[in-house]
Amino acid sequence: MIDGRPAVFLDRDGVLNEVRMDGESAASPRTLDEFHITSDAADSVQRLRTAGFEVVVITNQPDIARGLLDRTVVDAMHERLCTATDILNVEVCPHARGHGCPCRKPLPGMLHAASARLGLDLGSSWTVGDRWVDIAAGRAAGTRTVLVQRPWSWLSTSSGGPEPGLEPDVSVPDLADAVTVIVGSP
């Protein structure tokens, strides 16, 4: 067990892989054919690991609960992601809003679970995501936060809208820039 190691919690869709556009809305891929890992993902994860961070993916996947996505497809996506990027830990919330689940972002349950399982120090860790729910979960867990700015970052989700005053510590255009900020911070 790792004791007190810092981590970077990475959202999956829109950070490590491309989103699927559903009209004006960004959505999670539902098939392996739609699952495209970003060109900067592998290098970014390697830079974080070289800098001494544990890397943990935290992803809401409510389409599982809605019956729109089979868990075996999600597992295959994560196998592909872990192989391509050398990520070792993936936390998934398969619940839809209304299930009362403490792991569904914007709640910090996935970060707390990974921290307890891996012995991580949340106070020296970071959360990186492309939506306000990622920033809210990171804040609630006590991590510093980086927003990968997208047109949909502050739009309401099935969890509602962001709390007034919610802001990331840093906003960047992509994962590579997020890693540069994190690795360069004291």
58-83 pLDDT, tens per residue? Answer: 999 999 999 999 999 999 999 999 99
The four Cα atoms 152, 63, 109, 135 give a dihedral, to 10 degrees, of 0
Asked if 132 and 106 touch (Cβ cutoff 8 Å), the reply is yes
Write down the pLDDT at residue 160.
86
Domain extents in the chain: 7-156
37 CB-contact burial (10 Å; exposed 0-12 / middle 13-18 / buried 19+): middle
Q: In this structure, which topology does domain 7-156 adopt according to CATH? A: Rossmann fold (3.40.50)
- Of 3, 11, 22, 169, which one is the catalytic site residue? 11
Each residue's pLDDT tens digit, 31-43: 999 999 999 999 9
Evaluate if residue 144 carries a pLDDT over 60.
yes
Closest by Cα among 17, 75, 18, 10 to 48: 10
For the question of residue 13 being annotated catalytic, the response is yes
Mean of the pLDDT values across residues 178-182?
A: 98
pLDDT of residue 2 exceeding 60: no
Catalytic residue from among 13, 63, 130, 134: 13
Q: Give catalytic status of residue 86 as yes or no.
A: no
